[in-house]
Chains A and B, each alone.
Chain A
């Protein structure tokens, strides 16, 4: 086995670090406190470098970067606490379109997603279907050359700043649920769409989106009619590498270390000299190294041309569950100061640990809950029987 990066990937890592040092500002990170996890200037600067298009093959308009370079980009951005959500989702949407989209979508939409001039968001979940995503009830019905869409989607996060939503619809209600689904890419300025904010317990806002006689041409269809499940699999394949993040913890651990070294307890001692704090810090750093192993493993498999499956679920499960634990432990370490939010000027490092604590519960839910991940590992890796 060999865990070294080729020199060109190491060079790329250096380039990313220098780019982030020059382009990512504290203001950009603080601006996400309005609820939208997106930094337009950073997104534009990355697009200008071809980094949004990074993993997409050159012949399809991308930069053709290797999987190892993609994981390094992802790692460095998360280590720097860069707001990556909109970028990550747009890359997934572009990747889905490149695999399943019509020539119209590949020509008119993908270039805009890749050059940073447009954003996309996900429209899978509904009020009555989350993990059971194939139970979607939003209807698409043919009417001459057009499709008419009616229904509602939940957790269309970023829809309020996006240009497109990739929408899972039911086109045949009379067959098994997986066999009657069709995907569309829907421009969000199409008449009949309403976007309502869904506030969350964290800083980020999500959305509910409503579709009332939304009319689309067939050129907006993605994949075959009633072939939506195949597209869904592609979507989840790309999303699992991203949702939950492989490296959500380091920014929290950095903050915890800073607190431990600078805070003074009532008895005059510092948390950093407390063996229980030191053990927690080391355990969290071990978890990060485990996440690194997973991230490099999936990238290495992709580089070899082996499409990973259950490894993506394991990565997501371990990274998000350990992140949630780290947030809990380090907020606890801060005691009452751990409660102070970013609204207060004296919050430690802009209230970073507190903010992550409130964000962390969603990471074991979105992009496939921990329970779904465990099902996939049990079935796909251990060969245990399907239970649902």
Chain B
């Protein structure tokens, strides 16, 4: 049992906190809007080896664990870095598992992504990173297919300024089965739960800094208990989300029997927590929080957006319930 980062994980964290602070400051995040992608930043990130770090060394990857990757992802989330790190890493790991060619993906020369929602009639709607991905992996019925085709570059304007886009799959080839797909989606869920913790932590920090400086009624507003208590609730949930998110990643990494359950739970709780953090933090900024000038709105919009790439949250609860207590109509006896 070790519920804090190990020394090795701390070293990884320090490297990537530094990387994203230097290479993806908030000006870069803003400059990448509305498309939500910075190809130069992607090249720099690829040069660190991060996109392929959780692939075996035998294929040119970094041989790192999912846990190490999660440490990078938490930093990525905290900086809202406009590059599709999680989608690429998960899609590439999946393709490697299937024995599909990943030569152009390991070092990040090309970008891969996964369609989180099943494709319908040969098309995947609003695929995460779909605007910029050269390789799209998607579920089609009982198969999983791979599309090799440059992304359109842009997609519809959206709340989170994310590079989501529709992708036609008619020229895609089958690479795997639906069984293996579950694992990929769970990796996305677990890693994004960690990313949400990074987002939530930074959003909370913005709020805490703001209320320490902002003077109203002749005192810093952070001296008011109403504000302190809202921020304390956010900090408490965030600590809980952090522990759950990293437990989910650990569970996937070590093939625990409840790994899939924890991944689903961690994402829902992480998203809800990050949204709570951004809500409290924005609220305590007063009117400035609503203005484009202040950074908290960037966090607030992404907190809303990331989860919805997967679909309706209520369907995620329903999915967890089906696994936990059996499908509707079984009166729980199937569990």
Seen from chain A, the residues whose Cβ lies within 8 Å of a Cβ on chain B are 1-6, 68, 257, 260-261, 270, 272-273, 275, 278-279, 281-283, 285-286, 289-291, 293-294, 296-297, 299-301, 303, 311, 314, 317-318, 371, 373-375, 377-378, 381-385, 387
Contact = CB atoms under 8 A, between A and B. Distances in A.
Given A383-B208, A387-B228, 14 more contacts: A1-B4, A2-B6, A260-B332, A281-B321, A286-B244, A289-B269, A290-B241, A293-B240, A300-B1, A303-B1, A314-B239, A314-B240, A377-B232, A378-B229
Contacts of A290: 240-241, 243-244, 269
Nearest to A260: B332
B235 to A, nearest CB: 5
A244 B254 CA distance: 32
A2 B250 contact: yes
Given A278-B325, A286-B265, A290-B240, A4 B254 contact: yes
Given A300-B3, A375-B228, A387-B223, A279 B331 contact: no
A339 to B, nearest CB: 24
Nearest to A319: B240
B239 A1 contact: no
A261 B331 contact: yes
Contacts of B236: 314, 317-318, 374, 377
Interface in B226-256: 228-229, 231-233, 235-237, 239-241, 243-244, 246-247, 249-251, 254
9 nearest interchain CB pairs? A293-B243, A378-B228, A377-B232, A374-B232, A278-B321, A290-B240, A261-B332, A374-B229, A297-B3
Nearest to B328: A273
B314 interface: yes
B232 A1 contact: no
B9 interface: yes
Interface in B79-137: none
A279 B1 contact: no
Contact of B233 (A300, A374, A385): A374
B265 to A, nearest CB: 5
B240 A275 contact: no
Interface of B: 1-6, 9, 67, 204, 208, 211-212, 220, 222-225, 228-229, 231-233, 235-237, 239-241, 243-244, 246-247, 249-251, 254, 262, 265, 268-269, 314, 317-318, 320-321, 324-325, 328-329, 331-333
A128 to B, nearest CB: 22
B193 to A, nearest CB: 11
Given A303-B1, A381-B235, A384-B208, A3 B250 contact: yes
Nearest to A258: B332
Contacts of B262: 289
A273 B317 CA distance: 13
8 contacts: A3-B250, A4-B250, A273-B328, A282-B265, A286-B269, A290-B244, A377-B235, A378-B231
B242 to A, nearest CB: 8
Contacts of A374: 228-229, 232-233, 236
B321 A279 contact: yes
B231 A382 contact: yes
B222 A385 contact: yes
Given A282-B321, A297-B243, A318 B3 contact: no
A6 B332 CA distance: 33
Nearest to A382: B208
B253 to A, nearest CB: 9
A293 B248 CA distance: 11
Contacts of B2: 1-2, 300
Contacts of A279: 314, 317-318, 321
Given A257-B325, A278-B318, A384 B5 contact: no
A385 B221 CA distance: 10
B3 A384 contact: no
A272 B332 contact: yes
Q: Name, among A257, A270, A275, A290, the residue most crowded by chain B CB atoms within 10 Å (CB to CB).
A: A290
A330 to B, nearest CB: 14
A373 B220 CA distance: 21
Contacts of A377: 232, 235-236
Q: Name, among A260, A270, A314, A383, the residue most crowded by chain B CB atoms within 10 Å (CB to CB).
A: A314
Contacts of A257: 325, 332
Nearest to A294: B240
A381 B232 CA distance: 8
B229 A296 contact: no
A384 B276 CA distance: 19
Contacts of A300: 1-4
Contact of B314 (A6, A275, A285, A378): A275
B232 to A, nearest CB: 4
Contacts of A6: 1
Nearest to B224: A387
B334 to A, nearest CB: 11
Contacts of A314: 235-236, 239-240
B320 A296 contact: no
Contacts of B229: 371, 374-375, 378
Contacts of B232: 317, 373-375, 377-378, 381-382
A194 B268 CA distance: 52
Contact of B5 (A1, A311, A371, A383): A1
A381 B231 CA distance: 10
Q: Name, among A275, A293, A381, the residue most crowded by chain B CB atoms within 10 Å (CB to CB).
A: A293
A220 B68 CA distance: 54
Nearest to A276: B314
Contacts of B329: 273
A289 B1 contact: no
Contacts of B4: 1, 300-301
